[in-house]
Amino acid sequence: MRTPLAIALLYTACSWHPDLDARFACPDDRCPSGYTCLEGRCEPILPDAGPAPAWWNTAWATRSRLRIHNRSEQRARAGLPVMIELEFSDVGVPDIDELVIVYHDGNTWTRLPFYWVYQERFADVFWFRLPADIPPLSAEDGVWIYAGNPAAPGAGTEGISVWEQHDYFDTIGASWAASGDVTSVNNNSVRIGPGGVFRGQATWPVDYAVDAAIVAPAWTQGVSIGFQRSGDFVDAEPLARWAHNGTGFVPELEVGAVDEPRWSGEAVIVADNRVEVGVDRFADRIRYWLRSKVEAERAFGGGDDFLEPMQIRLANTGTTAFELAQIRVRRTMNPLPQVTRGALEPRP
């Protein structure tokens, strides 16, 4: 079920922000009547989601409705990966085997593959693909989480189908190339030592993103991961990446245009040995994720070279090795639809 809306641009209680795509920022969590603050933006309050469909499967103890907000003036296409922050305790289950995501199109229930990103000390997230197009400035209300079925089959590896490419690295396959100190290790990771470079053979256009899980005993200067337009192991530009400067992880951007100098954002200190990082590429901006949250965003005005497909590239110019545990490539859009969760309903 989709809910349309109409947007009127109002100035009351919101402040203009140049990087929010003609939306209004709400740093004080205040918005005009008819609007609500979502991820720092004043967004229209959508009409009620409508009546709930009949219970899918009474083997499950609870359910909660997901509302997927397309905040863009572009259509959000079916198959686009979206995510929701969720802990198992939020739905009263001990692990992933007692949770499913299902979709009701108005007539039929369909189980959706999903992928769990575990983040120690930080909220976990679950990724799944949109089951249907969402028109501009509208919402999809047909997705539900069902939980609490101890007899349910395990989730298995179905979540791999959420991604365009997904590597666990039990071996270094033909889709990757290595130079310098790069080796497979026995915990399904790739060790990238000092001077090592690891790059993908495939290239990805704009509107694609890379997420990675990386591990190190200590983070030191010289770790970098992101997109670069290079067919070899040279530290080439343009690029869009996270790089560790010895203090923290820093978002970096080099577009390649004469009038676009290299940009570096503020360093983010990471105390954990394992961290999830991500980079979203768009034609006019880069979005930088850390621990499954957007940490920085940088808009730019030019650079035809940057619009060409680019490879994924990890490098280590420091003195301490780190490990790449996973790489995930996904389609993306700006802004990515936001998923919110309704109240938990007990089995009737």
Q: Which amino acid is at 157?
A: T
Specify the residue for token string 């249907």: 132
pLDDT of residue 67: 95
pLDDT of residue 169: 87
pLDDT of residue 114: 95
φ, ψ (nearest 5 deg) of residue 201 = -75, -30
Q: Which whole-number Å values give the CA distances from 166 to 85, 183, 330, 334, in the listed order?
A: 21, 19, 9, 22
C-alpha dihedral, 200 to 206 to 209 to 210, nearest 10°: 20
pLDDT of residue 16: 35
Q: Give me the DSSP letters along 264-289.
A: E---B---SSEEEEEEEE-SSEEEEE
Q: Any idea what DSSP says for residue 83?
A: E
pLDDT of residue 149: 96
Nearest to 206 by CA among 92, 119, 306, 124: 306
Q: What is the pLDDT along the chain (348 residues), one digit of tens a residue?
A: 555 543 333 223 333 343 444 456 787 778 887 677 876 777 766 666 778 999 999 999 999 999 999 999 999 999 999 999 999 999 999 999 999 999 999 999 999 999 999 988 889 999 999 999 999 999 999 999 999 999 998 776 677 899 999 998 888 888 999 999 999 887 889 999 999 999 999 999 999 999 999 999 999 999 999 999 888 888 788 999 999 999 999 999 999 887 888 999 999 999 999 999 999 999 999 999 999 999 999 999 877 889 999 999 999 999 999 999 999 999 999 999 999 999 999 999
Alpha-carbon span 62 to 67, nearest angstrom: 17
Alpha-carbon span 290 to 268, nearest angstrom: 9
Cα dihedral sign, 221-225-226-231 = positive
Nearest to 338 by CA among 116, 111, 138: 138
